[in-house]
Amino acid sequence: MSISDARARSAELRELLNRALIAYHVEDDPVMSDAAYDVLYDELVALEVQHPKLVTGDSPTQRVGAPPSAKFQKVRHLSPMGSLDKVTTDESLHKWADDIRKRLGTDEAVAFVLEPKIDGSAINLLYENGRFTRGATRGDGVQGEDVTPNLRTIGAIPLQMQDKSPPPVLEVRGEVYMPLAGFREFNERLAAEGKAPAPNPRNAAAGSLRQKDPNITAQRPLSIWVYGTGHREGVDYLESHWDTLQWLRERGFRTNPFAERVESIDDVAERCRAWELRRVELDYEIDGLVIKVDSYDQQRRLGALHERPRWARAFKWAPMTAVTRLNKILIRVGRTGALNPWAVLEPVEVGGVTISRATLHNEEDINRKDIREGDDVIVQRAGDVIPQIVGPAGRHRRGTKPFAMPTHCPLCGVEVVKPEGEVMHRCPNKACPSRGLESLNNWVMAAADIDGVGEQTVRRLWELELVRSIPELYRLTAEQLLEVEGFGEISAGNAVAAIEASKEISFSRVLYGLNIPDVGWVTAQTLARHFGNVDALMNATQEELVEAEGIGPERAEALAEWFRDEDNRRLVEELRDLGLRFETGEEARQVEGPLTGRTYVITGTLERFTREEAAERLEALGAKVGNSVSSKTTGLVVGEDPGKSKLTKAEKTGVAQLTEADLLELLGGG
C-alpha cells in the first residue's frame, strides 16, 4: 500500500472508529459489534506502526499507553471554573429567584435549566480547531493539573469534535464519574488485592484521574457527563444554556439525558423534591441538581460575585455516605437457623436519616471487606433501606481483630454448622427459640402482611408468652392485647380484626409463611400452582415433586422430609381448622399484562425491594418468575452479592443480566 493510500485509509479508519465510540459511549446506540471494532482498530494500529507519521492526536490508538509522568504539570484555564453557591430548601430557592428578579429590574420571564449534579471530578477539556489538545482538573478554579493522557483513556470523551467547521478554541466543562456497578467491581478488586476500598465513587473517579500511569486509568470504569462550556471562540450564535447542551450533544459530547428546561421556580422546586427520591434509580451518584438561568443575556446582566455566578445554584441533598465508629457486630438467628451478622454503629446522619445499625451479609463478606469491631467505617445508604458498610475508613485501629462467626448459637448454645457449598452459618437446633420468633415475624411482616401488627408487637407478645406460634396468633383476643403496653380498646380491636382478615391470604402466601426450608416466595407460588392444594403437596413423592418447575432432587427431598414430620403436619391441620386457605383460587391464574410470555430470575440483594416484592411486581405485569436460569429465561435481575451459579449459567446461555435500575424501568414501563 502506497503512503497516499495508507494516509487515506488511516483517516477513514479514524473517522469510523471515533464515530463508533461516540455511538457507543454517548448515544447508547452502537453502530458495530465489539468484534468489528477490534478488526478496524487492529488495522489502524498496523498502518500506524508501518507509517509512524500517520499517527495523529485524535487517533483512537492514542487513548491508552502514554508513558507515565513523574508529576502533573499545572495549567491555567482560559476562563475560570467558578464554584456554585448552594441552596438546600424551597425557601432559599425562592429567595434566590426573588433576587434574580430584583437584579434584572423587569418582569420578564426567567426560564431555568436543571441538570443532575454528578458526584464526580470536575474537568476542563480544551479543543483547538475541533481536536482535543488538553484536559485538566478543576484545581483552584484558575489553574488545575494537566491529566490529558488519563482523559484520553475515557472512551466517552471525543478526541475530535463532530463538526465540519469547528470553533478555533473551545473549553468544554464536564464531570468524570464512576458508575455504581463499576464502583462495586472496583472495590471488590481492591479487596481481593488486600487494598483498602474507595469510600465512594467520587473519590474513586478523582483518584483514577490522578494516576501517574495512564494504563492504570484505562483499567478503571470511568465515564463523563458534559455540562457546559468555558472560553469559546466562533460560537456567539448560541443564546442560551439549553441551546448549548443540544449543540454539544450534536458534536459528539455526552450530555445528561435528564437535563430539563422549566419555566418557573415552582417547577424547579418540584423537580428538586422528586429527584431526591428518584436518584436511587440511577447507576451513578448525584448529590443534588444544578440550576441555571437559561438565557445568556440574563446571565451576563446578573453577573458573578467572587467567581460565583449569581445566575446558578446547586440544590444539594443530605449525603448518602458517612464515616462513623463500628462499636459491635451482633448476631441475629433467622427463622431457618441462619446466623445473620449486623453492625451496631455510633449514630450518624446519612441521607437525612440518623443511622445506628447496618446490615452485614455473612462472615465471608465481612472479612473480604476487612470490617472489624472498633474501626471507623464508611456507611452507605440508598433509598429507604437498611444501610450497608462499604469498608474501613482508613487504617485499622490498634487492637482490632478480624471477625469470626461464633462457634455456638447465641440463643440456644448448640454448635453452629456451615453446610457445604453455603456461605451462611446455621444453628441446626429446630427447637431454637429464634425459629419460633423469627417465623412469627416473617408471617406478620411478609407472608400475611398483617396491618397494625409489626415486629415490635410480635416480640412483645413473645416475651409475655401470649403468642409462641402462628396458630396462637389466630387465637389471640382483644382482652389479651389490652394487657400489652400501647394497646387500647380501639387499637386492640383493630389488631384482632386485621389478624382475622389475614386468613384470606392465598395458598402460596401460606406456604411461604410455614418456614419450609428453601421455600421462598417464588418456590411457594410454583408449588401452589403445580399441586393446587396442600393434600396433593403433602402426599407427593420425590419423583412427583421434581416435576414442578425449579424443583431439583435435593429440594424435593427436603420438601418431602418436611411434610413427613408429624409436627409439621399437625401445624398444617391446625391452621386449616382455623380457617386459612390451603388450596389455590383465582390468584393461581396467570395474569395477562405487558410482560406476559417473559420469565425472570432474581439473584442477590436488591436495594428498593425484597426479592419477594420484586417477584410480586413482575408477576402483576404478567411475567413468570423462576428459581433457576435456563435458555428460556428472559433476564436475570442481579442485586448485590448474587449467586455465582446463576451468573455463570446466565453467561453460558446468553441470558441478559439486568441491574436494579433496569428492573425499575421494566416495572415503570409496565
The 3-state DSSP class for residue 577 equals: helix
pLDDT of residue 669: 47
The DSSP output letter for 317 is: P
Q: Is 117 one of the catalytic residues?
A: yes
Q: Give the mean pLDDT of the chain.
A: 86
pLDDT more than 90, % of the chain: 37
- The model's pLDDT over 514-573, given as tens digits with 9 standing for 90+, comes to 888 778 877 888 899 889 999 999 999 988 998 887 788 888 898 999 999 898 999 999
Q: 284: burial class by Cβ within 10 Å (0-12, 13-18, 19+)?
A: buried
For residue 154, the SS3 value is coil
Residue 65 predicted with pLDDT over 50: no
Q: Is residue 447 over pLDDT 90?
A: no
- What pTM did the predictor assign? 0.55
Tell which wins on pLDDT, 423 or 533: 533
Provide the CB-side half-sphere exposure for 670 (13 A, CA): 19
> Pick the catalytic residue: 74, 95, 117, 164?
117
Whose CA is closest to 334, among 515, 471, 457, 521? 515
The pLDDT tens digits of the residues spanning 68-108 come to 445 688 999 999 998 888 888 899 999 999 999 999 998 89
For residue range 350-384, what is the model confidence (pLDDT) as tens digits? 766 788 888 888 888 888 888 899 988 888 775 44
541-546-552-556 Cα dihedral, nearest 10 degrees: -20
- Return the closest-CA partner of residue 283 out of 599, 607, 602, 598: 607
Output b/e per residue, 172-210; b: 16+ Cβ within 10 A: bbbbbbbbbebbbebbeebbeeeebbbbbbbbbbbebbe
Domains of the chain (ranges, CATH numbers): 3-62 (1.10.287.610), 86-316 (3.30.470.30), 318-429 (2.40.50.140), 433-586 (1.10.150.20), 590-669 (3.40.50.10190)
Residue 511: predicted pLDDT:
92
Comparison of pLDDT for 213 and 36, the residue scoring more: 213
pLDDT of residue 135: 95
Phi, psi of 355 (to 5 degrees): -110, 135
The predicted structure's pLDDT at residue 161: 94
Top-confidence residue, 197 or 562: 562
- The tens digit of pLDDT for each residue in 582-615 reads 998 654 555 677 888 888 889 887 877 777 778 8
Which band of pLDDT confidence, cut at 50, 70 and 90, is reported for residue 26? low
- 483 contacts: CB under 8 Å, gap ≥ 6: 464, 466
Mean pLDDT of 302-330: 86
Place of cell 478554579: 141
Q: What per-residue confidence (pLDDT) applies to 63?
A: 64
Question: How far is residue 348's CA from residue 355's CA, in Å, rounded to a whole number?
Answer: 5
Cell of 89: 430548601
Measured in whole angstroms, the distance separating CA 423 from the mean position of its chain's CA atoms is 23
Provide mean pLDDT across the span 618-636.
83
Taking residues 204-216, report their average pLDDT: 89
pLDDT at 207 over 90: no
In one letter, which amino acid is 205?
A
Secondary structure E strands in 215-285: 223-232, 260-262
Handedness of CA 75, 79, 85, 87 (dihedral sign): negative
Say which residue, 522 or 244, is predicted with more confidence. Answer: 244
